[in-house]
Amino acid sequence: MEHGTVDPRRRVPRTDEVLNDPRLIAAADRLGRAPVKAAVTAAQQRARSGDLDPAAVAGAALAALPGSPGGLIPVLNATGAVLHTNLGRAALSAAAVEAITAASGHTDVEYDLATGRRARRGRATLAALAAAVPGAEAVHVVNNGAAALVLAATALAAGREIVVSRGEMVEIGDGFRLPDLLESTGARLREVGATNRTTAADYAAAVGPATGFILKVHPSNFVVRGFTGAAGIGELTGLGVPVVADIGSGLLAPDPLLPAEPHAAGALSAGAALVVASGDKLLGGPQAGLLLGEEGLIERLRRHPLARALRVGKLTLAALHATLDGPATPTRQALHADPDALRERTDRLCARVAAAGADATVVVSDAVVGGGGAPEVTLASWALSLPERYAAALRTGRPPVAGRVERGRLLLDLRCVPPSADDTVAAAILAALPPAGR
C-alpha cells in the first residue's frame, strides 16, 4: 500500500454504527435483531472485499432483508394457474387475513366466555362449515386433505380392508401415492376393477366382513379417455359398508364454471357416509382437511387419538371461518374474472412497457384451475408476452413476479394479480429492461 493511502477496510463502518441507522432499527423491530445483524455483517464483508462502497453498507444491508418476517416472500402470481401448488395454492381473502391477525393473540378458541369453562375447539368455524353444507350431519377439520383421509383410514379401517378402484389409485404430488398413504395407516387395500373400467359389481364382489369402507377418489389431476367406466357413489351405498368420497378440490357446492367437478353437497346427497376435501383449493381458504358426513362417523373420527395430532390451530380456524362467512375469495374472483377486463388491463400494461422499449405484445392465454382440480378446464384469458430473458429478473425482483415460459416467450397472465398491483408489475418489467431500453 502506498504511503498516505487509507486501507479501504478501515473505512468500513462499525457494526454498532450501522445498526443505529434508523432504517435498520425499524427493520429490527419488524424482523428481529439477528437477521438484521447478519445482513449488516454480510454487507461489511462485501465492503472489505472491495465489492461495495463502505458508505453503502447500511443501504445494502437493508436491501438484502426480506420484505416481511416469516421467511416466506410474497409473490405476484402471473402464471395463469389460479391454484398454483408451488406458490401456496389459494390466496387468502382480506377478511381471512384480518381474522388471522385478530386471532394472533389470546382468543376463545376453546373457552366459553359466558361460563368460564372449556368449550369445543373451533365451534364457530365448525358451525360455519356445517351451514355451508347443510347435507352434512356433522363436520370436522384437520390440517390438510391427506390428513383427513389418513384419519378416516386409521379410525375406520386399521387392520381391515379398504375397497378402491384400480383407476383411482392416484399420485397426489411430489411422489406421494394414495396406496402408500393408506397402507401407512395399517389398512389393507383391496383393489377392484381395471384401470379404465370398474363396475358396481366389482365392488360388491370384494366387500365382506373384513371391509372397513369403500373409497371413491376423484382423479382430479388427470383424465382417462376412451373405453372407460366408473361406478357412482349412489351405486355403492347399499353394500353394507360406509362409502368415503375423497373429492379432492374442496368444492362445497356446484359451480357452473366447473360442471364436472364433484362437490361435497352432491357426494352427500348421493349417499356418501363421509366426504373428504381440501380447504386451500377451490374453497379458497387456508390449508385444511375438511371432513363432512354422518354424525356417528364424524364423532368417531373426532374422538380418535390421532385426531389430536392432526388438529388445526387457531389461525387456521379463524381464516377458514372468514373464508366460509366472508366475501368472495381471491380464488373465486380469479376463476370468474371477466376476460374483457383482463384484456383491457393487459393492453394498458403492454402500452406502458412497450413505450419504454420492451419487446411486448398481448396474446391469448389459456389459464387453468391448478392445484389438482378440473384438469380439462381452461379459462379464457390474455397475457403479456415478453422475451424469455425477463423471467429470471422478474422472479428474483422485489416483489417477485412469476409467469410461465412457452415457446421462448415469458407470458404474464394478470388473472391472479390484483388490479392494484398492475403498477407494481409494470415497474418490475421496466426495472428488468436492458440498459439501452431504460
Tens-place pLDDT, residues 62-77: 888 877 777 788 999 9
**Residue 373: pLDDT band with limits 50, 70, 90:** confident
Residue at grid coordinates 402464471: 79
Helix axes 145-157, 295-302, angle to 10 degrees: 100
Tens-place pLDDT, residues 349-371: 999 999 999 999 999 999 999 88
Burial of 81 (0-12, 13-18, 19+ CB in 10 A): buried
Q: Sheet holding 373-387: strands in order across?
A: 81-83, 361-370, 373-387, 409-413, 404-406
Tens-place pLDDT, residues 7-62: 556 789 999 999 999 999 999 998 889 999 999 999 999 999 888 999 999 999 98
Pick the residue with more confidence: 328 or 71?
328
Tens-place pLDDT, residues 128-175: 999 999 999 999 999 999 999 999 999 999 999 999 998 888 776 666
Task: Look at residue 141 and give its three-state secondary structure.
Answer: strand
The sign of the torsion formed by the CA atoms of 398, 349, 363, 377 equals positive
- How much is the average pLDDT of 321-343? 97
Average pLDDT, the chain: 91
In sequence order, what are the residues at sequence separation of 6 or more whose Cβ sits closer than 8 angstroms to the Cβ of residue 194? 166, 167
Q: Is the pLDDT reported for residue 314 higher than 50? A: yes
| Cell numbers describing residue 289 | 382437511
CA angle 203, 278, 301 (to 5 degrees): 65
Contact 202, 193 (CB under 8 A): yes
Q: Do you know the residue count of the chain?
A: 438
CA dihedral 219, 222, 226, 231 (to 10 degrees): 0
Tens-place pLDDT, residues 393-417: 999 888 899 999 999 999 999 999 9
Residue 1: its pLDDT value, please? 45
- How much is the average pLDDT of 381-387? 97
Tell me the CATH number of domain 94-327, given options 3.40.640.10, 3.30.530.20, 3.10.310.30, 3.40.50.620.
3.40.640.10
C-alpha 204/C-alpha 381 separation (Å) is: 46
User: What is each CA distance from 23 to 29, 30, 47, 255, 397, in whole angstroms?
Assistant: 10, 11, 19, 49, 21
C-alpha 390/C-alpha 129 separation (Å) is: 43
Residue at grid coordinates 381395471: 194
Residue 155: its pLDDT value, please? 96
CATH topology of domain 76-88+332-437: Aspartate Aminotransferase, domain 1 (3.90.1150)
Every domain of the chain and the residues it spans: 8-64, 76-88+332-437, 94-327
C-alpha 430/C-alpha 30 separation (Å) is: 29
